[in-house]
Structure 1
């Protein structure tokens, strides 16, 4: 595990929704911050005396672009000490202690099976990185289904960008599904019914990537294996 800590400078902040913020961080001591789409960084925040209670990990939301800047998207959690610090104390020009990139939640080497990218909330971050990377490098790929679950339309992250990718990439399918919005004309309910519906008539080889809260991931694992898929087809990144 990489133990090098860098001092990152926050170069830009943008509120993406009412409770999520995008943070752009530059690592001045590196010419380029190299990572694989899907990896995360750990921040050491001055919120506790014990190391392990100061560390917060976030998936990188941007794709590798040969610069020393990367983007995180962070949700303000009610009672969350780490996110409260980041939202209240961090301004443009602030510094953050950063370790990474870390993690094995990365694209498969072969890209021969359909990809189901299933997420809730800020769990879209690693998938945004992956899909942008696939498009930028014109990687050959089968069908990619990004199934993004939220409560309301206002909670959808990167919605316009995802809709544009859906238009630009013939085999990329962006499927936002909302659990609480009555007047929503798209898919309603939870993420699980979506992939079950897609695979109901044609159970084809697939890789499932899950990113979000534990309850969603636990249920998805049960349902995917119940459909007859092997646990090795399931890859996950747990939040919280």
Structure 2
């Protein structure tokens, strides 16, 4: 699965970032100071105890070896698909028995030295050599296959699962365990990114329970999927909190019209610079009403089922078709499929329309649209919709940033809207312009020059642009509740 699994940051806390130091200290330092190995007893007690209440939480948040694999080896790992046999129950069970038998045998041999001067050195050395073996073998697996390959059959992971099952049987873990939870399944884009970044290569988006929780016993609760979810709908919650979250999100505005759509690719237009516009004509149903500012899901594969979310770029004239503009992403799994396999005449599955983050209310009077890069796409339809259909609109301004003039999409279209409509203003800006007539700079430079009293602001584009623009807007007095944005990356403002 080329380009499928994604390397990403997994160290979100100081412990996860630096716990690998403990592994090196014990595995290498213990060769000279064997008593350091006795610290591993505390590790075993910690992982067994936390598992009783919260499953494999230790693996994802405290494990020193896990920190080593995630922090030091992930950047240079092959990051391949983990072979199924290494995750099989047979492999896990046999290796657990083999490992525990040999480990116990070594410990029992050392107990015969009880009372001798070097007893604790000998006992500590057993833990040291075991820790060193895991570091070397696990490290090789991490480098050549996947960072968390060892963790699939790690005896300590199996020990945690056994402890967890006891806690669950007694009813304790049911109350205390926190699981990956989606606040609303309707808002899930089914993009599969949670699976692509998961250290264990699990598929949360395909396995949510009726309480919107991911119940897989192998989940290590590392929150990598939470941090990377484009929709921002994931969190770690107890079952009780998950039920409350589901009830609070039972009616999600902007997702009421989500439906499965069968459509034909009626045209593909090459816009240059690795960007194409795809025209989808609806087949079943033959009419789908959508609003300017909404997005659509495009199915890219069946196994595992996956979609990609794209802003709708077309103005809805008769509800029979829609357009999306897609930029080819280097080593992008989704765009590789779309650019290489999608052809005119193909029947494609869509889901939607959905989203209201960029849909202005009917009574909006002053609007500022801000887009950069491919983030201009929703404003193609929104600009026209505001001019033609929003009778309350008095001022509509569009700031559009690119690096070079030739990268501007729908440039003439926006110029025509500006020319023919008194309420619409188009302000393109390029960071590296070749033409002296083009304003040099960034959209943030334009924002700083504007008077924005009474404006509602809608942004789409790069994470940095949105973060920088948001801060400037707030400094200029724009209310936070009047700032709306959409981005492919999760943004914390």
Q: Which runs of 5+ in 1 are unaligned?
A: none
2:371 corresponds in structure 1 to 119
1:237 corresponds in structure 2 to 486
Structure-2 separation of matches of 1:129 and 1:27: 18
Structure-2 separation of matches of 1:83 and 1:40: 17
2:293 corresponds in structure 1 to 38
1:16 corresponds in structure 2 to 271
Which structure has the higher relative contact order (CA within 8 Å, separation 6+)?
1
Q: Which runs of 5+ in 2 are unaligned?
A: 1-185, 187-256
The answer to whether 1:205 aligns with 2:454 is yes
| Cα offset, 1:138, TM superposition | 6.5
1:68-217 matches, cutoff 5 A: 68-104=320-356, 105-112=358-365, 114-137=366-389, 139-199=391-451, 203-217=452-466
Select which of 448, 463, 467 maps to 1:218. Answer: 467
Structure-2 separation of matches of 1:96 and 1:136: 31
Structure-2 separation of matches of 1:184 and 1:91: 40
- Provide Cα deviations, 1:155-193, integer angstroms capped at 9, x if missing partner: 100011111111011121111110112434221111011
Select which of 223, 228, 235 maps to 2:477. Answer: 228
Q: Secondary structure at the match of 1:187?
A: coil
Structure-1 separation of matches of 2:272 and 2:450: 29
Higher helix share: 2
Q: Secondary structure at the match of 2:288?
A: coil
Q: Is the 8 A contact 1:33 1:70 kept in 2?
A: no
With normalisation by structure 1, the TM-score equals 0.91
Coordinate RMSD, CA, aligned: 1.7
2:34 corresponds in structure 1 to none
Structure-2 separation of matches of 1:84 and 1:185: 36
| Cα offset, 1:88, TM superposition | 1.4
| Cα offset, 1:41, TM superposition | 0.3
Q: Is the 8 A contact 1:37 1:107 kept in 2?
A: no
Q: Is the 8 A contact 1:178 1:184 kept in 2?
A: no
Q: Secondary structure at the match of 2:297?
A: strand
Structure-2 separation of matches of 1:92 and 1:172: 35
| Cα offset, 1:108, TM superposition | 2.1
Indicate how the Cα distance of structure 1 residues 42 and 184 shifts in structure 2: closer, same or farther if over 3 A, else same. farther
Q: Is the 8 A contact 1:42 1:55 kept in 2?
A: yes
| Cα offset, 1:91, TM superposition | 1.2
With normalisation by structure 2, the TM-score equals 0.45
Higher strand share: 1
- Provide Cα deviations, 1:103-147, integer angstroms capped at 9, x if missing partner: 0120123122x2110001221121111122233437341211110
Q: Is the 8 A contact 2:262 2:285 kept in 1?
A: no
| Cα offset, 1:226, TM superposition | 1.4
Structure-2 separation of matches of 1:210 and 1:14: 25
Indicate how the Cα distance of structure 1 residues 100 and 3 shifts in structure 2: closer, same or farther if over 3 A, else same. closer
